[in-house]
Structure 1
């Protein structure tokens, strides 16, 4: 059985091999007789040559993200070992696992709520609740650790937030909100499934207390695939998570490029602050201008999506 370090070294070697072969086959790297002395200024003229060079320079716009992805995929272990708890779950602060949905797939929501609650219990988590925020009732069973919040159709937040941000804002209003500023919220989509490793990672993150904002890795196609095309398209986001996003959170503690809207862990006060971003918050609910230095970090654990984009 290969160790995680060996797997990561093989992964890096494969990545370098793929890049080298692609560069050679595409003509990016030319050796020996392949080198030619074509003068582009003479061949295409000054106007044509300038246009062609400008078009080629456009490729450099993605260079920062490409570099972050490459560095993140190589300097951080892509095959981490099983997460070990660094403290007792009994000492963990209160956790609210908040799932946001439109309520179009009630059976999916009910199944995933049951599975997520079971994973939390198996990981030893005691002080938690699973909360579903929905536009339409999904018929959740009555349980002391399950709460269903239905957003009124006529509700209009003062910030003018829409869609998912509107639902999250409703949870922060004086009536529906029951959380203290020191409580933690784990934001999930309706199709996101927790794993025992992700629960342990969240516990370690909140027990550590160094950061008030975290984001974890989400993997796809872990169960029955509904649509292979959308599944493969979603799988690209895993590499983005493991490269660019992990590097920006681990090294800079800031969302320099982007972040996901699911598997986001925040403290109550920070959530209330970020959700006040107004209409602009609909596209990025937690606006980067609200983040302070040294408050954001990647959570070293993985959650998964049930099925793929076909479930949405």
Structure 2
């Protein structure tokens, strides 16, 4: 068990785990895990042959999610869910140069300017010295003339050796000999256009670099700390906060292998590693270049670690953008899974992620079907099904706990927000499955989600 710092932090963590156990117990009860009834009837006579077969498939298919669910469970219970703000381990003056790299199409110059300005102020507040924000863009943005800012425009005629596309193409251009200005000992922090640094994330990055144990690392991203443009997509993204603290934290902090991939922002990589692995993966690695990079780095023997602190981003501004974003992820993971340049032993985690995309619609109805339509089934299966459903439900609740402050909202509104994502699960599942259908029916492409806030929200 990781050391928990501070009495109040211990209490918060213990209360969180207690809530986790309550939710697991409730869901296990609903799925028949605690039922001692021995159903001896013949379901084929009671329900018919094909309905019975379908019901059994739906019950057992839940077990497909177990590897990912176990990683989420261990990430939550093994480490402090409410860590205190990290403290600097060394003087910022002693750190190597840090390049905060942002890739953009150039569609949102005002957003990029505002975000870079915010992030520079945060770096100054922490006392960071050797750093630069490098904006790699397809179209000139017109960033201010500042020694802390470098604008890199990717020529329209540029193509990589292996024909990489989209963001991977821009990232590869930044690594070319005539463009790259980093030395092997410098570090690169990958950010999205709207990613906002916090003091805790900058300190976490500084400590990670100072320790210099792992070649790349990942941290937590929160989606509710600034303006919430679309509540439906924001609530749907709460599960991503849970998976950051769950499966990603377990894989990065315990196994030090990106078994379940990684994300493209709050990704910290040593420059020598990025120059060695590169982003020139061809078409197969162009939709989810972050996941592809992590697996390629793992193949070359590099290890990863978890970075303390959190960064802030916004969820998609509409259900349409949400669906198209997920569609790209699904197609990218499929291309990664079937790519011949990565051995299968490195892609087992991606295999289970892909399976979860296509089976979750059959798994969720079990919470209703189990009490209404009983089946003779081993109690162990019922326990495991309840465990799977309970963990997934808790990840949404935990996302709320990490996102909203009950002292500011009031206890009633806070509890309502914690319950609301569970009630909206059918909506979230519908959006996810629209993405699955689109992934099969339409060709690939790197959809750029809306990121510039409407003017009225900026007043």
| Shorter-chain TM-score tier | over 0.9
Contact kept in structure 2, 1:211 and 1:297, CA below 8 Å: yes
Contact kept in structure 1, 2:160 and 2:280, CA below 8 Å: no
* Aligned twin of 1:298: 306
1:96-150 CA deviation, whole Å, 9 max, x = no partner? 0001111111111100000111111111100010111111122211101101111
The within-5 A match list for 1:221-236 is 221-236=224-239
Contact kept in structure 1, 2:182 and 2:271, CA below 8 Å: yes
By how many angstroms is 1:279 displaced? Answer: 2.2
The separation in 2 between residues aligned to 1:2 and 1:208, in whole angstroms, is 27
Contact kept in structure 1, 2:136 and 2:154, CA below 8 Å: yes
The separation in 2 between residues aligned to 1:239 and 1:298, in whole angstroms, is 15
- Of 5, 10, 20 in structure 2, the residue corresponding to residue 5 of structure 1 is 10
* Aligned twin of 1:130: 133
Q: Point out the more displaced range, 115-124 or 45-54.
A: 45-54
* Aligned twin of 2:25: 20
The separation in 1 between residues aligned to 2:40 and 2:34, in whole angstroms, is 12
The within-5 A match list for 1:155-304 is 155-272=158-275, 273-285=277-289, 286-291=293-298, 292-293=300-301, 295-304=303-312
* Aligned twin of 1:86: 89
The separation in 1 between residues aligned to 2:245 and 2:55, in whole angstroms, is 34
Q: TM-score, normalised by structure 2?
A: 0.64
Contact kept in structure 2, 1:90 and 1:125, CA below 8 Å: yes
Question: Structure 1 unaligned runs (5+)?
Answer: none
Q: Point out the more displaced range, 70-79 or 267-276.
A: 267-276
Residues 274/104 of structure 1: CA separation in 2 closer, same or farther (3 Å cut): same
The separation in 1 between residues aligned to 2:128 and 2:184, in whole angstroms, is 20
Contact kept in structure 2, 1:96 and 1:186, CA below 8 Å: yes
Contact kept in structure 2, 1:274 and 1:290, CA below 8 Å: no
Q: Point out the more displaced range, 39-48 or 85-94.
A: 39-48
By how many angstroms is 1:289 displaced? Answer: 3.2
Secondary structure (helix, strand or coil) at the match of 2:16 reads: helix
Q: TM-score, normalised by structure 1?
A: 0.93
Choose between structure 1 and 2: higher strand proportion.
Answer: 1
1:228-273 CA deviation, whole Å, 9 max, x = no partner? 1111122221101100000001111111112111111001121121
The separation in 1 between residues aligned to 2:106 and 2:10, in whole angstroms, is 43
Contact kept in structure 2, 1:96 and 1:184, CA below 8 Å: yes
* Aligned twin of 1:76: 79
Secondary structure (helix, strand or coil) at the match of 2:279 reads: helix
1:277-309 CA deviation, whole Å, 9 max, x = no partner? 22222133214033255620111111111x432
- Of 22, 26, 29 in structure 1, the residue corresponding to residue 33 of structure 2 is 29
1:140-189 CA deviation, whole Å, 9 max, x = no partner? 11101101111111211112111110110110112211111111000000
Question: Structure 2 unaligned runs (5+)?
Answer: 1-5, 318-449, 452-459
- Of 106, 110, 125 in structure 2, the residue corresponding to residue 107 of structure 1 is 110
Secondary structure (helix, strand or coil) at the match of 1:221 reads: coil
Contact kept in structure 1, 2:262 and 2:294, CA below 8 Å: no
Q: Point out the more displaced range, 160-169 or 285-294.
A: 285-294
The separation in 2 between residues aligned to 1:271 and 1:27, in whole angstroms, is 46
The separation in 2 between residues aligned to 1:38 and 1:257, in whole angstroms, is 41
Residues 48/22 of structure 1: CA separation in 2 closer, same or farther (3 Å cut): closer
Contact kept in structure 1, 2:169 and 2:280, CA below 8 Å: no
1:41-91 CA deviation, whole Å, 9 max, x = no partner? 543566654453233222111110011111111111110011011111110
Choose between structure 1 and 2: higher helix proportion.
Answer: 2
Q: Point out the more displaced range, 295-304 or 268-277.
A: 268-277
The total of aligned residue pairs comes to: 309
